[in-house]
């Protein structure tokens, strides 16, 4: 037998239905071929896990294309079409044994509620049902009946904050390999629950900690081959939004396990709703002085949750006080970046920033000195989450406004990793206060830098979801008090 080959590629982005800024191609990091394989090798990403696991087994990985962007508004149709055409062209060449897709799940385009399902359907249409097709998804993916019908095994991250991206890719790859070698015949038991989690949904804390421990024990004991528990991205106004428990058996579906896990999730649903401390509490703390920098997640304007990243709520609070240490706060504002870059480093400029799309606080006019500016800065993630991942920033400028380092960028970023700040000349370890546009994931990658806290701020990604105009996703708990008896989803069937 010659060398086995797998096809791996696709698109990874998480969309927010209420973010009005469409995501175009320039927002994506696009890579292909040996360059994509080399970039992924050894990195803690889904593709990295696929590549490392495949190469350890002597399997060659073909990457027709991989599009990756941060969360944001729906992705422009042409971007999705370009990716799908590249993947389908490669699928038609047929020079591979299985397909393993590193995706995110939970993306939107203006016309598609489930583009990942559409990609899988297109690939199945070309290769048929006999070629193993497995997928790695983020834990916050929106899973659909279409996806479950088209893939042989869907593996989701098992950690939030996410630290097992590589391991997820490895699970997806090994399932495909085991199928190819006749050791695995995946049989799915799946349960959907019309509910969302809001805030108390870390997997290293209760109630999810013991739920995942039970799932892991079941896999280790051979009760199931693989289990994923999906906590859907909360800002998707799509039909069938909710939680999914997927338990795959080898030959026989572990129905009882899936029902048990889903039953626990439903019974403990009220515990999954959390609260965050107010911003002022932590600004007061910073004013009193801390041993280590305070790293604050701006809950209401989390780019990691799909927000536009131009919210001024925190910036206003920082500028309103004169007792705070040096701070770094980001705002996405292409016009302000242009003005600062035109004035040049060393110039004193007056610009009006932010508040265009994140409208809970109005734009702010500031005067400050441009201390750095540029474009195409390289970010390398320290990790542990996504350690080694490389991405390139667009244009940026840093403005000193008193003790505030106002970090202006032409696109929004989540600041999940301190590498973002360092790329623009700011060392987060030397700040007293650092703002990120993330609610969970930054806590892993800034743990070595300072104390990480997510604060309650208003905005498009705050968990005050009753303020958002959901239509298609309803009814769901906790916006709607509904009666649910968890039951098995018939593979290929519609939602109950
Ligand atoms: Zn996620």
Quick: pLDDT tens for 463-489: 887 888 999 999 999 999 999 999 999
Q: In terms of DSSP bridges, do strands 364-374 and 153-156 run parallel, antiparallel, or are they unpaired?
A: unpaired
Torsion of CA 380, 382, 387, 393, to 10 degrees: -30
CA of 460 to the centre of ligand 1 (A): 17
pLDDT digits (tens, 9 = 90+) for 330-350: 999 999 999 999 999 999 999
**d(Cα 379, Cα 372) in Å, to the nearest integer?**
16
State the pTM of this model.
0.93
Distance 347 CA to ligand 1 centre (A): 40
* Cα-to-centroid distance, 345 and ligand 1 (Å): 37
C-alpha–C-alpha distance, residues 231 and 336, integer Å: 37
Nearest Cα neighbor of 393 from 364, 372, 371 is: 372
Ligand 1 centroid from CA 233, angstroms: 7
For β-strands 433-436 and 294-298, DSSP reports them as: parallel
- Please tell me the distance between residue 139's alpha carbon and the centre of ligand 1 in angstroms: 5
**458 Cα to the center of ligand 1, angstroms:** 20
pLDDT tens track for 250-272? 999 999 999 999 999 999 999 99
Instruction: Pick 5-272's CATH classification: 3.30.70.980, 3.30.300.30, 3.40.50.2300, 3.30.420.40.
Output: 3.40.50.2300
Position 1 pLDDT exceeds 70: no
How remote is the CA of residue 162 from the centroid of ligand 1, in Å?
7
Residue 346 CA to ligand 1 centre (angstroms): 39
Q: With cut-offs at 50, 70 and 90, classify the pLDDT of residue 385.
A: confident
Alpha carbon of 304 to ligand 1 centroid (Å): 8
Count other Cβ atoms within 10 Å, centred on residue 334.
Answer: 15
- Other beta carbons less than 10 A from residue 209's beta carbon: 12
> Does residue 59 register a pLDDT over 70?
yes
CB count, 10 Å around CB of 466?
8
Q: From ligand 1's centre to the CA of 194, what distance in Å?
A: 19
Share of the chain above pLDDT 70, in %: 99
CA of 183 to the centre of ligand 1 (A): 31
What band does 387 get if pLDDT is binned at 50, 70 and 90? Answer: confident
Task: Give, for 397, the enclosing helix (H) or strand (E).
Answer: strand 396-401
The rounded Å distance from CA 104 to ligand 1 centre is 8
Q: Separation of 215 CA from ligand 1 center, angstroms? A: 19
The CA 258 to ligand 1 mean position distance, Å, reads: 22
Query: Where are the CATH 3.40.50.2300 domain residues in the chain?
Result: 5-272
| 138 Cα–ligand 1 center, Å | 5
Q: Check pLDDT > 90 for residue 432.
A: yes
Cβ contact 199:205 at 8 Å: no
- What's the gap in Å between 81 CA and the centre of ligand 1? 24
pLDDT greater than 60 at residue 496: no
Please report which confidence band the pLDDT of residue 430 belongs to, taking 50, 70 and 90 as the band edges.
Answer: very high
Residue 273 CA to ligand 1 centre (angstroms): 17
Q: State how far the Cα of 392 lies from the Cα of 410, in Å rounded to an integer.
A: 12
Mean pLDDT of 93-118: 98
Beta-bridge partners for 67? 11, 30
Q: From CA 318, how far away is CA 329, in angstroms rounded?
A: 9
Beta bridge partners of 404: 327, 401
For residue 341, report the distance from its CA to the centre of ligand 1, in Å. Answer: 34
* pLDDT band for position 413 (cuts 50, 70, 90): very high
Going from the Cα of 368 to the center of ligand 1, the distance in angstroms, rounded, reads 36
Strand partners, 328: 405, 434
Q: Indicate whether 437 pLDDT > 90.
A: yes
Q: What integer pLDDT is reported at residue 251 of this predicted model?
A: 96
Considering the chain, what percentage of its residues have pLDDT values greater than 90?
94
Q: Per-residue pLDDT tens for 151-174?
A: 999 999 999 999 999 999 999 999
d(CA 364, ligand 1 centre) in Å: 31
| Mean pLDDT (whole number) for 68-76 | 96
Please state, in angstroms and rounded to a whole number, the distance separating the CA atoms of residues 310 and 361: 10
Return the DSSP state at 142.
-
Measure 144 CA to ligand 1 centroid, in angstroms: 17
Does residue 495 carry a pLDDT above 80?
Answer: no
Q: What distance in angstroms lies between residue 93's CA and the mean position of ligand 1's atoms?
A: 33
CA of 355 to the centre of ligand 1 (A): 25
Say how many Å lie between the CA of residue 443 and the centre of ligand 1: 13
Distance 417 CA to ligand 1 centre (A): 15
Residue 202 CA, ligand 1 centroid: distance in Å: 11
> Token match 């360092």: residue?
422
């Amino acid at each position: 037998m010659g060398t086995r080959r797998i096809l791996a590629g696709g698109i990874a982005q998480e969309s927010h239905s209420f973010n009005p800024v469409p995501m175009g191609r320039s927002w994506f990091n696009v890579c292909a071929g040996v360059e994509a394989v080399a970039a992924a090798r050894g990195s803690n990403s889904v593709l990295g896990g696929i590549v490392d696991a495949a190469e350890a087994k002597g399997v060659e990985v073909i990457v027709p294309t991989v599009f990756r962007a941060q969360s944001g508004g729906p992705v422009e149709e042409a971007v999705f079409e370009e990716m799908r055409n590249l993947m389908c062209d490669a699928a038609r060449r047929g020079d591979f044994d299985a397909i393993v897709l590193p995706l995110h799940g939970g993306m939107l385009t203006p016309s598609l509620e489930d583009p990942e399902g559409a990609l899988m359907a297109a690939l199945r249409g070309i290769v048929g049902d006999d070629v193993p097709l497995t997928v790695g998804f983020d834990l916050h993916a929106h899973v659909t009946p279409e996806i479950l019908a088209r893939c042989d095994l869907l593996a989701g991250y098992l950690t939030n904050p996410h630290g097992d991206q590589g391991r997820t890719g490895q699970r997806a790859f090994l399932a495909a390999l085991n199928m190819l070698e006749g050791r695995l015949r995946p049989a799915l038991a799946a349960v959907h629950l019309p509910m969302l989690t809001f805030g108390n949904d870390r997997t290293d804390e209760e109630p999810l900690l013991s739920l995942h421990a039970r799932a892991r024990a079941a896999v280790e004991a051979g009760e199931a081959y693989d289990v994923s528990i999906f906590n859907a991205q909360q800002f998707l106004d799509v039909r069938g939004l909710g939680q999914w428990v997927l338990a795959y058996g080898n030959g026989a579906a572990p129905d009882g396990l899936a029902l048990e896990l889903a039953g626990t999730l439903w019974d403990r649903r009220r515990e999954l709703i959390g609260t965050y401390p107010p911003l002022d509490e932590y600004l007061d703390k910073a004013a009193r002085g801390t041993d280590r920098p305070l790293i604050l997640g701006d809950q209401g304007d989390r780019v990691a949750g799909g927000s536009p990243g131009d919210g001024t709520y925190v910036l206003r609070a920082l500028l309103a006080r004169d007792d705070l240490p040096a701070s770094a706060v980001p705002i996405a504002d292409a016009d302000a970046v242009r003005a600062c870059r035109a004035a040049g480093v060393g110039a004193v400029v007056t610009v009006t920033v932010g508040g265009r799309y994140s409208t809970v606080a109005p734009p702010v006019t500031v005067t400050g000195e441009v201390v750095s500016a540029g474009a195409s800065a390289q970010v390398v993630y320290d990790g542990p989450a996504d350690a080694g991942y490389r991405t390139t920033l667009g244009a940026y400028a840093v403005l000193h406004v008193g003790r505030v380092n106002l970090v202006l960028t032409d696109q929004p970023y989540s600041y999940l990793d301190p590498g973002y700040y360092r790329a623009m000349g700011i060392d987060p370890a030397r700040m007293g206060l650092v703002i990120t546009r993330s609610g969970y994931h930054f806590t892993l990658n800034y743990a070595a830098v300072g104390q990480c806290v997510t604060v309650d701020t208003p905005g498009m990604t705050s968990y005050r979801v009753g303020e958002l105009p959901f239509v298609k996703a309803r009814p769901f708990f906790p916006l709607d008090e509904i009666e649910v008896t968890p039951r098995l989803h018939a593979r290929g069937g519609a939602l109950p």
